[in-house]
């Protein structure tokens, strides 16, 4: 095989990528390695550099330093061989107003597939895939926001590319279209496409991505599976006890219980963060019962990617 052996290094390999817009450093020595067959999530707040990274991967933007290899070869603006194997669904819907749903998908598919018979089949498959069967002859202006996003996706994936990049495809989308889009992405992946999925919605990334890089200020601050990422932080479990009235000395005693490392108490709600250990909930409830303290609803949550972001950066992932 020519070029680098991407079986070892991943089909998208980014090393020390730096991109500046004037004095603003949008990508700050970004490193990523995306393997064939993954649904790879780029999770980060607005402005963390996700779109810039995507545009660099596609050679739509020049960068200042570093390297990007796709399918084992350096990515250049004229690397058409690589570009033919990539499908992109941009953040902003980019379709032709004067074309119908069918004509739009056919146009974008036609950029890659010349054979008319094959293209017809692919367009039909894409229409069925995003559930736009009833809208074939409709122009984009008449579609709701969610349906328009589905059309945007169909245009990007109809040619069944090996690598599909979706940049925040569910922003401002109703729940029904959102679920349809997320299921569709998993189906594309099962059919053999590698997926890069950018989002600032933690829940979506947790739901569909097999591996995740968390981005902040143009860097990947942590990467791995959800389990690996949540395993990196101190928080193992968060226990919440509602409608509980506590005295200061009781809070001190709860703080001293084993495996407890953070206690918040506000508006009669007790929140206890524990390190990874068994029986945290039982330990806390036993304490309350021993002290004859009454309480309302009790629940425990496992750490989320927001907890990972919070613990590493000191701020919430959500805006
Ligand atoms: N063309 C540009 N000129 C100047 N600054 C830019 C340009 N494009 C992006 N930026 C800045 O670069 C940083 C990274 O932006 P980018 O759009 O890549 O982030 P993002 O994570 O994709 O966020 P969003 O979800 O809001 O698109 C931000 O501070 C943004 O304001």
Mean pLDDT, consecutive 10-residue stretches, the chain (319 aa), reads 62 96 96 96 93 94 95 87 90 92 96 93 93 95 91 93 93 84 92 94 93 96 94 89 94 94 94 87 93 94 90 81
Angle, CA of 183, 139 and 181, to the nearest 5°? 10
Ligand 1 atom nearest to CA at 218: 14
Question: Using CA positions, which residue lies closest to atom 16 of ligand 1?
Answer: 49
Ligand 1 atom nearest to CA at 168: 25
The two three-digit tokens of residue 293, written as one number? 């303290």
Ligand 1 atom nearest to CA at 55: 18
Question: Using CA positions, which residue lies closest to atom 6 of ligand 1?
Answer: 21
The two three-digit tokens of residue 180, written as one number? 């349809």
Are 296 and 240 in contact by the 8 Å Cβ rule? The answer is: no
Ligand 1, CB within 6 Å, residue ranges: 21, 24, 26, 44, 46-52, 168, 200
Give me the pLDDT at residue 180, please: 85
CA separation for the pair 181, 151 (Å, rounded): 11
Residue 55 C-alpha to ligand 1 middle, in angstroms? 11
Give me the pLDDT at residue 146, please: 87
Residue of 19, 42, 51, 201 to test ligand 1 pocket, by largest number of atoms within 8 Å of CB: 51
Using DSSP, state whether 174 is helix, strand or coil: coil
Give me the pLDDT at residue 79, please: 83
Are 194 and 11 in contact by the 8 Å Cβ rule? The answer is: yes
* Structure-derived torsion over alpha carbons of residues 289, 290, 292, 298, reported in degrees to the nearest 10: -20
Q: CATH classification of 6-230, choosing from 3.40.50.300, 1.20.1600.10, 1.10.3720.10, 3.30.930.10? A: 3.40.50.300
Give me the pLDDT at residue 1, please: 44
Using DSSP, state whether 140 is helix, strand or coil: helix
> Per-domain residue ranges for the chain?
6-230, 234-302
Residue of 52, 168, 309 to test ligand 1 pocket, by largest number of atoms within 8 Å of CB: 52
The two three-digit tokens of residue 105, written as one number? 């998908």
For domain 234-302, which architecture applies?
2-Layer Sandwich (3.30)
Please state the pTM of the whole predicted model.
0.86
Residue 175 C-alpha to ligand 1 middle, in angstroms? 26
Residue 27 C-alpha to ligand 1 middle, in angstroms? 10
Question: Using CA positions, which residue lies closest to atom 17 of ligand 1?
Answer: 51
Are 192 and 161 in contact by the 8 Å Cβ rule? The answer is: no
Question: Which among 216, 196, 200 has a CA at the least distance from the CA of 29?
Answer: 216
Ligand 1 atom nearest to CA at 44: 21
86-105 pLDDT, tens per residue? Answer: 999 988 888 999 999 999 99
Give me the pLDDT at residue 3, please: 52
CA separation for the pair 36, 318 (Å, rounded): 30
Give me the pLDDT at residue 2, please: 47
Ligand 1 atom nearest to CA at 45: 21
Residue 43 C-alpha to ligand 1 middle, in angstroms? 14
User: What is the CB neighbour count within 10 angstroms for residue 115?
Assistant: 10
Are 113 and 119 in contact by the 8 Å Cβ rule? The answer is: yes
Whole-Å CA distances, 239 to 14, 117, 166, 298: 39, 59, 36, 7
Write down the H helix ranges in 166-271.
175-190, 202-208, 226-231, 248-255
CA separation for the pair 307, 298 (Å, rounded): 20
Compute φ and ψ for 209, nearest 5 degrees. -85, 140
Contacts of 131 (CB under 8 A, 6+ apart): 150, 180
């Amino acid at each position: 095989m020519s070029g680098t052996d991407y079986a070892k290094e991943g089909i998208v390999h980014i090393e020390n990528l730096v991109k500046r817009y004037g004095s603003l450093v949008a990508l700050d020595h970004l490193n990523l390695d995306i393997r064939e067959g993954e649904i790879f999530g780029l999770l980060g707040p607005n402005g963390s550099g996700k779109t810039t990274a995507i545009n660099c991967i596609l050679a739509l933007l020049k960068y200042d330093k570093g390297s990007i290899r796709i399918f084992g070869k350096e990515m250049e603006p004229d690397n058409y061989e690589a570009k033919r194997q990539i499908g992109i669904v941009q953040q902003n819907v980019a379709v032709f107003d004067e074309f119908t749903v069918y004509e739009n998908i056919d146009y974008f598919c036609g950029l890659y597939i010349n054979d008319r018979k094959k293209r017809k089949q692919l367009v039909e498959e894409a229409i069925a895939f995003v559930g736009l069967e009833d809208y074939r002859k409709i122009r984009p202006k008449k579609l709701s926001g969610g349906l328009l996003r589905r059309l945007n996706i169909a245009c990007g994936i109809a040619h069944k590319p090996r690598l599909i990049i979706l940049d925040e495809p569910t922003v401002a989308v109703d729940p029904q279209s959102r679920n349809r889009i997320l299921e569709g992405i998993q189906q594309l992946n099962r059919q053999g496409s590698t997926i890069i999925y950018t989002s600032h919605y933690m829940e979506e990334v947790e739901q569909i991505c097999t591996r995740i890089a968390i981005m902040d200020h143009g860097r990947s601050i942590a990467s791995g599976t959800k389990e690996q990422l949540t395993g990196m932080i101190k928080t193992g479990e968060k226990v919440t006890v509602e409608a509980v009235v506590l005295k200061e000395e009781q809070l001190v005693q709860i703080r001293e219980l084993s495996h407890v490392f953070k206690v918040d108490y506000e508006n009669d709600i007790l929140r206890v963060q524990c390190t990874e250990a068994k029986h945290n909930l039982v330990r806390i409830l036993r304490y309350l019962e021993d002290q004859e303290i009454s309480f309302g609803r009790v629940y425990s949550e496992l750490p989320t990617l927001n907890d990972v972001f919070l613990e590493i950066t000191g701020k919430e992932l959500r805006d």
